[in-house]
Amino acid sequence: MDDTLAVARRWYAEDLRYKTPVLRNPQLIEAFAFVPREQFVGHGPWRIISDPYNEAFLTPDTDPRWLYHDVLVTIDASRNLNNGMPSF
């Protein structure tokens, strides 16, 4: 695994620990740190919604680090289908 992605995943998991009380479970934190989110959202660039009240934006590239934030990632915009915002 690419070290930069491992660092991004760990940061993402630790950040979620403080945003979402239910994610204070150590096993859940480890799962978020280990499982590659990019395997569940298709190939980038990705349409990302950083806040449910703001407009989506398209990532400028296919760097998976865009996915390691507490954001919604669009899977199919026509069906309003997203990969969930973990804290939501």
The pTM for the full model equals: 0.86
Report the half-sphere exposure of 54 (CA within 13 A, side-chain side). 10
Start-to-end Cα distance in the chain? 28
For 31-74, the pLDDT digits (tens) are 999 999 999 999 999 999 988 788 899 999 999 999 999 999 99
| Beta-bridge partner residues of 48 | 57, 73
* Residue 36: other Cβ atoms inside 10 A: 15
Q: Are 42 and 49 in contact (CB under 8 A)?
A: no
Q: What is the DSSP letter of 21?
A: G
Residues whose CB falls within 8 Å of the CB of residue 81, separated by 6 or more in sequence, listed in order? 74, 75
